Amino acid sequence: MFKKIFYSLLAVTLLCGVVSCQESVSHVGKRVFKVAQQQFKLLDARLEPGEMPRTLNADGTPRNNTSISYWCTGFYPGSLWYVYEYTGDPEIKALAEKHTHYLDTIVRARTHHDIGFQVNSSFGNAYRLTGDKAYLPYIESAAAKLAKRFNPVVGVIKSWESNKKWAYPVIIDNMMNLELLERASKLFSCDSLDQIAKTHARTTMKNHFRDDYTTFHVVSYNPEDGSVAIRQTHQGYFDDSAWARGQAWGLYGYTMMARETGEADLLAQAEHIADMLLPRLPEDGVPYWDFDAPDIPNTVRDASAGAIMASAFVELSTLTADPARAKACRQMAEKQIRTLAGPEYLAKVGENGNFLLKHSVGSFPHKSEVDVPLTYADYYFLEAILRYNKLSK
């Protein structure tokens, strides 16, 4: 009997040596969502009412937000909605509702262009998954507020308020906020929101990108005539470098705009960015914090950029007409998902301040949030897996 078991095990081991026994992506997803389901309940339990998770401090203690103005406050509710989408767990749904409603007064708070991120990931997912019309007014008023930041002379939404350095700063990240406008445009039959989003995307295409399709982080405009005043960075290594998350926002932003509008030039821009990124990514698919950081490989990775790219690559693989590019995008997304689901990046239940992913970077030059968990890394990682799962059905 024992001999039989021993030889069966030996046969399986030998077979695995010949035929690779790689965990299927669907199993990877199951494993990740099981961790997320447990971590996010523990995360909620460690928060005081009204507190929103943000990251961990250098000494490992939690850092939370108490102001809803912070640009990341939609990602924890959004992640809860994704876990609910995957698991159907009613306890997670109740947490998602609770944390979404912490943002009820968002349009009255001090807002900025990131109201798009905040409201789309929370209320946007809430409405998408429940169909509850009570969520609609939040989406409608947030989109109206975001649209007010658009200046037709410049042709872009203003990201940050004017400061000594920049009169009309626009960051590549702003592409992400256009999804709220596109969603609201369809939900409320408001064509002007779609026009604003498309104009912003095209002005950004013209002014943010270099010839090799890497993007600057910040472009500041002269508001009187819409001309470019200066191109710089805020979170990258230097003005001309390719800050990893900025490249990820660009890839995701144009892919999302291609999906929402069906416009060929927006899809072509996403394809160009993908073609630039695919050969430049490290072997395991997770970028260093800036593609031009001088100390690669002796510097930190940014899991958040890897997760955002993975989600965008999955989507782009479904939009691009070129089968070779579609395959390359899908394979890269798969690689990124596998790496992020490995022990180096994925937390064990009870660790990592109850966030999901380790090793993200907020702003390296400001020595802020370096090599820590971040809520948006978790959000886009879960989204990437959900999107990948839909591919194989």
Residues recognised as catalytic: 114, 173
Q: Which of 326, 205, 179 is nearest to 257 (CA)?
A: 179
Q: How far is the CB of 245 from ligand GLY (least distance, A)?
A: 5
The DSSP secondary structure of 226-267, one letter per residue, reads --EEEEE-SSSSSTTS-BHHHHHHHHHHHHHHHHHH--HHHH
Residues that bind ligand GLY (CB under 6 A): 71, 173, 235, 245, 362
Which amino acid, residue 157? I
Closer by beta carbon to ligand GLY, 93 or else 359:
359
Q: For the chain, how far is it from start to end, CA to CA, in angstroms?
A: 41
Alpha-carbon gap, residue 356 to 306, rounded angstroms: 14
Closer by beta carbon to ligand GLY, 28 or else 251:
251
Q: How far is the CB of 91 from ligand GLY (least distance, A)?
A: 31
Which are the contacts of 67, defined by CB distance < 8 A and separation ≥ 6? 109
Cβ atoms of 287 and 306 within 8 Å: the answer is: yes
The DSSP secondary structure of 18-34, one letter per residue, reads HS--PPPHHHHHHHHHH
Closer by beta carbon to ligand GLY, 215 or else 320:
215
Alpha-carbon gap, residue 24 to 32, rounded angstroms: 12
Torsion sign over Cα 155, 205, 330, 336: negative
Closer by beta carbon to ligand GLY, 37 or else 120:
120
Q: How far is the CB of 116 from ligand GLY (least distance, A)?
A: 11
Cβ atoms of 305 and 252 within 8 Å: the answer is: no
Q: What is the dihedral of CA 182, 377, 382, 334, to 10 degrees?
A: 100
Six-digit token pair at 152?
Answer: 């037709």
Closer by beta carbon to ligand GLY, 183 or else 245:
245
Closer by beta carbon to ligand GLY, 253 or else 353:
253
Residue with smallest beta-carbon separation from ligand GLY: 173
Alpha-carbon gap, residue 353 to 222, rounded angstroms: 43
Name beta bridge partners: 164: none
Alpha-carbon gap, residue 4 to 13, rounded angstroms: 14
Q: How far is the CB of 299 from ligand GLY (least distance, A)?
A: 17
How many helices (H) does the chain have, and how many strands (E)?
Answer: 14, 9
Torsion sign over Cα 203, 204, 205, 206: positive
Angle between helices 303-319 and 244-261 (to 10 degrees): 30
Closer by beta carbon to ligand GLY, 93 or else 113:
113
Q: Which of 110, 250, 261 is nearest to 197 (CA)?
A: 261
Closer by beta carbon to ligand GLY, 71 or else 123:
71
Which are the contacts of 277, defined by CB distance < 8 A and separation ≥ 6? 247, 251, 309
Six-digit token pair at 204?
Answer: 């950004």
